[in-house]
Amino acid sequence: MNRRDMLKLAGATVATGAISSYGSSTKEMNSKSHENPVISSVARLPKNGNGPRIIVVGGGWSGLSVAKRLKQYVPEADVVLVEQRTTFISCPISNLWLVGEVDLEFLTHSFLDAANNNNYTFFHSSVYDVDRKKQIVYTNRGYIGYDYLVLAPGIDYDYSRWTQGDEELEYKLRTQYPAGFRTHSEHATIKEKIENFDEGNFILTVPGGNYRCLPAPYERTCMIADYFKKNDIKGKVILMDENVDITIKKKGFHSAFNEMYKDYVTYMPDTKIEKFDLKNKTVTTEFGEIIKFADAAFYPRVRGNKLLEIAGVAKDSINKAEANINPFTYQVIGDSHVYCSGDARPMSFSKSGNTSNSEGHVVARSIADHILGKKFKWSSPHTTCYSAVATKPLRSIFVNAEYKWNKTNGSFSFYHASTMENWHGKSGTNAGRGTKEWASGMYRDMFS
């Protein structure tokens, strides 16, 4: 950390607005013995309610939805959204941005506007520790007491199956061939790769397990193939899928691959990468196939954000990737004042933006009913997901579904699921228009 960064940090708590108290929690604020006196100081925030303070960590589709609905369900609550990014840039619809079909402004939104429009507090900072016994969240801009805590920190990548502890390989995969399912910096790198691509194979991968946004790797394949075809680029997208077949909207994506992009897409199901040779730009599959590539975006398996481990809410020492919560209330087992939402939760719901947003309503109602002493009744989150398969004109397919609890196998599964996978003719173009309209509606729901 240089001198300028140190001065910025030293003034951080003052810059948040030296007004009011740190919150409505009546608990004694005895901070941990952190060496940095600034970090150990109280984060002074304005109060936006005289009720319990509820801290929501993570300003993604889930956290934004939870914060907004909490103020609607419990207006007197003092809701604080803690997010380390200064600006929201959407991951859903970003595949269209990669090939120039939407501009960056369409994906970009203001956390401040969301907070101001919905009467909660936006606190720009990074959370690095949680003391659940004392009910304190520690950030790089001071610590905050809470009465209720919602952890919605999103995903992290799990490269361990590929790298087997090789840290240098993991670093190169993260930085030279980013997955493009987290930060917008990753998307910017992939966009540059596509725009500067000359010829050869462009490898994409689909991870196993419940990864973020099931149809997105297939949509991205279509968008890159569409770009190659439209610009007469002698390239081919090699899609290496760990799953035995396309995981969702199978009929629509297969028909797009076979009918529109047969010369631009090679789909390889049930394929796992065993070895990377980044110097010679080859990958070796578990069957010994050696595939050369000119460029790539490698999407590894996903896991819950490591804040779950730090906060002590991960399932166990072996399964650290998911939160240990009651699947019907979202409360951490053994701690009724902490909830986990979005990609952090263990249920098999789709890890998509729309699902997380819909789920945020459910989590907020669960917290509100707990505060108000009401009996909470679980309701299913909703998944409505559009996937573009072609541009000029924009054509899409979509799925619409809810979930139900299966007592037999003890898990959640699709319920009332329906798909529109015919991208031909008016069906596809109507869905194409619906893609942008859907996104605009979701952004309004979170930020207006």
- Check which CATH number belongs to the domain holding 232 and give it: 3.50.50.60
Look-up of token digits 């228009």: 433
Q: What is the identity of the amino acid at 214?
A: L
In DSSP terms, 42 is beta-bridged to 143
The first and second tokens of residue 186, run together, are 């990753």
Same domain, 217 and 84: no
Q: What is the pLDDT of residues 130-172, one digit of tens each?
A: 999 999 999 999 999 999 999 999 999 999 999 999 999 999 9
Confidence at residue 408, expressed as pLDDT on a 0 to 100 scale: 82
Confidence at residue 317, expressed as pLDDT on a 0 to 100 scale: 63
392 inside domain: no
Rounded CA-CA distance 92/98 in Å is 12
Same domain, 222 and 115: no
Which residues, other chains included, contact 8 with Cβ-Cβ below 8 Å and sequence gap of 6+?
A: none
Q: What is the pLDDT of residues 183-194, one digit of tens each?
A: 889 999 999 999
Q: What is the mean pLDDT of the segment spanning 258-287?
A: 97
Q: Is the pLDDT of residue 46 over 90?
A: no
Look-up of token digits 């797009």: 256
Rounded CA-CA distance 138/125 in Å is 10
CA 357 to chain centroid, in Å, comes to 11
Q: DSSP string covering 218-250, please?
A: HHHHHHHHHHHHHTT-EEEEEEEESSSS-SSSH
409 inside domain: no
Within a 10 A sphere around the Cβ of 122, how many other Cβ atoms?
A: 19
Same domain, 15 and 57: yes
Same domain, 170 and 141: no
The total of structural domains in the chain comes to: 2
What domain range is 107 assigned to?
Answer: 3-154+305-372
Same domain, 177 and 52: no
Q: What is the mean pLDDT of the segment spanning 350-366?
A: 94
Confidence at residue 98, expressed as pLDDT on a 0 to 100 scale: 97
Task: Respond yes or no on whether the N-terminal peptide bond of residue 92 is cis (omega within 30° of 0).
Answer: no
Same domain, 340 and 366: yes
243 inside domain: yes
413 inside domain: no
pLDDT band per the 50, 70, 90 thresholds, residue 79: very high
Same domain, 314 and 283: no
Rounded CA-CA distance 332/388 in Å is 37
* Dihedral angle computed from the Cα positions of residues 56, 95, 389 and 303, in that order, rounded to the nearest 10 degrees: -50
Average pLDDT of the chain is 89
403 inside domain: no
Same domain, 149 and 55: yes
3-state secondary structure of 3: helix
Specify the pairing of strand 78-83 against strand 53-57: parallel
Same domain, 92 and 13: yes
Same domain, 208 and 234: yes
Q: DSSP string covering 54-67, please?
A: EEEE--SHHHHHHH
290 inside domain: yes
Look-up of token digits 């939805």: 65
Same domain, 292 and 162: yes
Confidence at residue 40, expressed as pLDDT on a 0 to 100 scale: 62
